[in-house]
């Protein structure tokens, strides 16, 4: 982002982007050992978004500072993406997990298709346009993660019915419905008892003879 608006060596910048990918995909492992998926992804998305917004306060002549902020933001975003792959697979039940992951991956790559056109158009309006737009979108993703349920130490569900309630109110309501006795069940149970009492099993004819 913004690399076309500042004087920087494209080859060196591409090399640094590739180097940051290695630790970025290794970071989720220790992070997820101490915190949940929702908190970790929200923090990483928020860090990346704030760094992209910070570029607004940097003068265009500060090439080193702009590139450094971009690289750190890219590092946080790559780590968040690694967590989201795991998070998405745990959010959906087994019956829909494959199709849900495929849809999520397809939508994620839509950004890769749209990004070049957005950068080319926004950079003509303002050199900080691409980073600002991405920063706002990433901050929105950080806030959206807070709405998702936490999946750490939670067994994977096989169906939608096995998904736990996301809030205490929903959990209490579900438990109350499960504990309630259905009138039709009581009616069927009482009918079975009356049939067994009124119509005893007839004795064997051989024994009667």
Give the start-to-end residue ranges of the domains of the chain.
3-158, 165-200
Hey, what CATH topology would domain 3-158 get? Growth Hormone; Chain: A; (1.20.1250)
Number of H helices, E strands in the chain: 9, 0
Using an 8 Å Cβ cutoff, are 45 and 77 in contact?
Answer: yes
DSSP of 96-115, one letter per residue? HHHHHHHHHHHHHHHHHHHH
| pLDDT tens digits for range 61-114 | 888 888 888 889 989 999 998 898 888 888 888 888 888 888 888 888 888 888
Question: For residue 208, what pLDDT is reported?
Answer: 46
Record the pTM: 0.70
| pLDDT tens digits for range 144-165 | 999 998 888 888 888 777 666 5
Say how far apart CA 72 and CA 62 lie, in whole Å.
Answer: 16
């Amino acid at each position: 982002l913004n690399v076309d608006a500042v004087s920087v060596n494209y080859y060196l910048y591409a090399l640094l982007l590739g180097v940051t990918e290695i630790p970025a995909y290794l970071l989720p492992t220790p992070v997820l050992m101490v915190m949940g998926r929702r908190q970790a992804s929200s923090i990483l998305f928020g860090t990346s978004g704030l760094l992209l917004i910070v570029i607004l306060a940097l003068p265009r002549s500060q090439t080193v500072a702009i590139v450094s902020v971009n690289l750190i933001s890219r590092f946080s975003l790559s780590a968040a993406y690694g967590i989201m792959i795991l998070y998405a697979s745990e959010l959906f039940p087994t019956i829909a997990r494959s199709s849900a992951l495929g849809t999520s991956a397809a939508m994620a790559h839509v950004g890769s298709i749209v990004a070049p056109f957005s950068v080319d158009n926004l950079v003509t309006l303002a050199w900080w346009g691409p980073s600002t737009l991405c920063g706002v979108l990433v901050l929105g993703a950080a806030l959206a993660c807070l709405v998702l349920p936490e999946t750490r130490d939670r067994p994977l569900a096989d169906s939608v019915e096995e998904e736990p309630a996301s809030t205490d109110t929903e959990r209490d309501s579900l438990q109350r419905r499960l504990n309630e006795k259905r009138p039709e069940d009581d009616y069927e149970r009482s009918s079975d008892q009356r049939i067994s009492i009124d119509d005893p099993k007839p004795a064997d004819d051989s024994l009667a003879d």
